[in-house]
Chains A and B, each alone.
Chain A
């Protein structure tokens, strides 16, 4: 149980283009989904928290117009990196917490490795 999928697992795109990453909870309904970014040998950095049907809450320093988050249902959240640049190259990981459980009990997707050329 508690499986979270992400698609795509890796993507290469050209500078200036947009990339959409999907995060799905496969066998549970997710109250809250989280988006993280992780650079090599560094810790997770929370980018934003999203609840189904409401606007995402972005962490300080994260541009909401650049990283668009849509949480369309209790099982799907998407992150769109708009006008991507090489410095956006990173490992993007989503996680989800199940309805009725606390936000600390997060189940992570396998991550999406983004390379912007």
Chain B
């Protein structure tokens, strides 16, 4: 079992819709969770981080964390074609020394 799993996609949504990106992790002791966005040919950029169970909102982005289910998600409201990218989920393992990245989900927002 991979330590951080994401559906590779592509996930295709129409412009204006909500895009839902999901991530599961295997280390039950993980405490910190991050979402990065990577455009093709570019390096990743940090979008959000979440540490506590529940929802965290930042503009059109909402991160959701459920530690009991070992599940973290990212919702993008009012999706725009410029949101088309690969979204990477990252988890800090128990002990806090290592960040594990998922393989990423490709999102395509259709105009």
Contact = CB atoms under 8 A, between A and B. Distances in A.
Real complex partners, A and B? yes
Interface of A: 34, 42-44, 46, 49, 93, 95, 102-111
A34 B101 CA distance: 13
Contact of A103 (B33, B43, B98, B101): B98
Interface string B81-94: 00000001011100
B42 A111 contact: yes
Interface stretch (B15-23, B44-52, B54-62): B44-52
Given A104-B49, A104-B90, A43 B101 contact: yes
Contacts of B92: 102-104
Contacts, number: 50
Given A102-B92, A104-B32, A106-B99, A44 B44 contact: yes
Contacts of A105: 34, 46, 49
Contacts of A49: 98
B14 interface: no
Nearest to A92: B43
Interface residue tally of chain B, by bracket? 20 to 34
Contact of B104 (A43, A93, A95, A106): A43
Contacts of A102: 32, 92, 96
A42 B96 CA distance: 25
Contacts of A111: 42-43
A103 B94 CA distance: 12
